[in-house]
Structure 1
Amino acid sequence: MKDCVEDPDFLPSDPPGPTAAAAAALHSPLCPQTPLIRGDALERSCLQQPLDCDDIYSQGYQTDGVYLIYPEGPSVPVPVFCDMTTEGGKWTVFQKRFNGSVSFFRGWNDYKLGFGRADGEYWLGKAGPKQVGGPRARTWLTCCPSTGLQNLHLLTLKQKYELRVDLEDFENNTAYAKYADFSIAPNAISAEEDGYSLYVAGFEDGGAGDSLSYHSGQKFSTFDRDQDLFLQNCAALSSGAFWFRSCHFANLNGFYLGGSHLSYANGINWAQWKGFYYSLKRTEMKIRRA
């Protein structure tokens, strides 16, 4: 592991211990024996080089938390939050918002590379925590930069995934939307040149309504890379970044505006549930093998 810096301020609770299956994975020839990672962190990073949270769940870790996955290959670990609880678990979370501590009004490179931290608000692919020393060590590392949208493409290229979008408002009401098929640039020779286009199908309503099917087939747009169908820049108008069309019914990367707002369609909006003048409290976008 390279370019790791110590982060003493990040002091989460001790992670759970492995099951027998997880412990056995430590003896895999794929497990890198690096002096920078030991104890439980080594167990988390050496689970047969898991592709996603489904692999991690199958290999014995069935508690919510931050783990390492390897969509690009054994030399490129990606920190990710795994939801092992909701609807049977195994969800790989690629977008998470809950308090507005991280700005999501960012440019193309940030969404390509990822940002935030997997233990907080984030977009898949940036730096994340890794423990050193053992299960009770209190020193953590921030390391392992990787790619965000590209990782989503690689995951959905290798497996068939379903998508779940979990939403919560400031009155503590919750709802979700599910899509039986989810992929990023499924037919592209170059995913980035294709704009990391979105494909979703097979909507299932969990009370949120369908605000995402409208975006299927669209390229990802940011304020500095306008790839939508509108005459103006939807990302700039909506204060976010998304698979905009002309412009959106879903704007989950918009401004964190804290509920009802006077401005039009620039908050964390899911129009079929709360309309264009309500910014949600919490969102999670997560995928699981179908």
Structure 2
Amino acid sequence: MILLVIFLCGSFLISPSLGSEDLVSQCQSNYLDLLRKHSSLQEKNLEKYAQIIQCQRVHSEVQNKYTEVLQKLNDCNVKYDKLQPKPLEVDTLRAFITQQKEEIELLKYQIGELKEKCELGKLTSQFREDIAKLAEIVKNGEPPRSEVANNDNQENIQAAENTNSNNKTETVEVKTEEIPTTQEDNSRNQTKVIPQPSDRCPESQDYRDILQEIQIPGTSPFKVNCFADEDIGSGWMVVYNKVSFSFAFSRPYEDYERGFGEVSTKADDEFFIGLERLHLLTSEKPYEASLYYDEGLTKCDHFVVGNRSEGYVLRNIGWYTGGSTMGLSQGTKFSTFDRDEDGHADNLAMKKGYGWWFDQNYTRTKNLILLIRRTD
């Protein structure tokens, strides 16, 4: 309206010569024209305002969709993280697979040993019977009583049949003749002495590693790797052989108790003779121990392992030389991932992937080779 008044005043001032009627008519015409333009501008503004409202609505919808998509993306990320296997689970799965393979190999070995023992048992029984018969022949100078009795019975039966056939009653005397024995026969009938398995590794050997059968009184024989070295001498028994970055020793407590692996003379063949055998060996006879690990070699002049009820604790390790971190500490119990007895806040057996006597000063090792030797 201000613009309208200014325009009318201007028109009045500019055209003073015009008549009043003409002036009023012209002002009205201008006013109507301005009204039309103002109305047109208002319509355009309303259209623009409507467009702005529409844009705001679209923007709000897009913002809502963006938020929804972002939420879905976050949900997908969470699900993806859940689906991703954890490193520890992967390591545990690998260790389990390796463990199953080792158990299969161990079962195959045990089946083979059982077959050999069954065949050997049959042969041994037959051999013992033959020895008993030969011993009786050598002692009495005649066949075994059972055979003589059988021969007597056959002769008596034959004599009785002859008597019945002839309708005569005769007393048939059966005489047994002595079987002469010569010096040659006696030499043949001598019992062959079978050497029994030893209870220790030899004090000297021609090779660095040899396989020997060991027997603890009251138990079955088992194979061990007997080791000799210029630095530590001969007579050593390899009881724990673990190589770097291996999952073969990630096993439960029961496996460590009975032992596992294929005992051989190869450096990369992993095995453990068993906690129970270590207890029986070291509790009956005096032993010393040597430990090969990443940092070098350490020796202790005593090595005594307790029984199962004691957690196969290291009863005595004596004095050790050759390093400040033996990796063994007196009074330490044996720990595995399913039986944590190391006294640490962490389960070191699970963390490191093998069972051991973890002490308070234990340091990380990749290779572990434990040897023991009789000292009497």
In structure 2, the CA distance between the partners of 1:287 and 1:202, relative to structure 1 (3 Å rule), is same
Give how far 1:98 is off.
3.8
Q: Deviations over 1:143-165 (max 9, x none)?
A: xxxxx101001111111111011
Aligned-CA RMSD value: 3.0
The equivalent position to 2:355 in structure 1, one of 241, 265, 268, is 241
Give how far 1:47 is off.
4.8
Unaligned runs of 5+ residues in structure 1 are 7-31, 37-45, 126-147, 186-190, 251-264, 270-278
Amino acid of the structure 2 residue aligned with 1:117 = E
Q: Which has the larger radius of gyration?
A: 2
Amino acid of the structure 2 residue aligned with 1:156 = T
2:233 matched to which residue of 1? 88
Answer yes or no: is 1:50 the counterpart of 2:50.
no
2:311 matched to which residue of 1? 195
Q: Deviations over 1:267-287 (max 9, x none)?
A: xx1xxxxxxxxx34xx42101
Q: Deviations over 1:50-74 (max 9, x none)?
A: 1121xxx15x85532111101253x
Query: Matched residues in 2 for 1:194 and 1:78: separation?
Result: 24
Give how far 1:218 is off.
0.9
TM-score by length of structure 2 reads 0.44
Q: How does 1:75-224 map to 2 (within 5 A)?
A: 76-86=220-230, 87-98=232-243, 103-119=248-264, 120=266, 121-125=269-273, 148-167=274-293, 175-185=296-306, 191-198=307-314, 199-205=316-322, 208-213=323-328, 215-224=329-338
In structure 2, the CA distance between the partners of 1:162 and 1:5, relative to structure 1 (3 Å rule), is closer
Paired residues in the alignment total 187
SS in 1 for 2:276: helix
Where do 4+ consecutive residues of structure 1 move more than 6 Å?
Answer: none
Give how far 1:80 is off.
0.8
Amino acid of the structure 2 residue aligned with 1:245 = D
Give how far 1:182 is off.
0.8
Conserved? CA contact 1:111–1:123, under 8 Å: no
Give how far 1:289 is off.
1.5
In structure 2, the CA distance between the partners of 1:245 and 1:88, relative to structure 1 (3 Å rule), is closer
Give how far 1:35 is off.
5.3
Conserved? CA contact 2:291–2:326, under 8 Å: no
Give how far 1:219 is off.
0.8
Give how far 1:106 is off.
1.1
Unaligned runs of 5+ residues in structure 2 are 1-108, 115-119, 125-193
Amino acid of the structure 2 residue aligned with 1:66 = L
Query: Matched residues in 2 for 1:193 and 1:108: separation?
Result: 13
1:4 matched to which residue of 2? 112
The equivalent position to 2:372 in structure 1, one of 283, 287, 290, is 287
Conserved? CA contact 1:72–1:154, under 8 Å: no
In structure 2, the CA distance between the partners of 1:99 and 1:234, relative to structure 1 (3 Å rule), is closer
In structure 2, the CA distance between the partners of 1:124 and 1:219, relative to structure 1 (3 Å rule), is same
> Which has more helix, going by share of residues?
2
TM-score by length of structure 1 reads 0.56
Give how far 1:109 is off.
1.2
Give how far 1:101 is off.
6.0
Query: Matched residues in 1 for 2:305 and 2:287: separation?
Result: 10
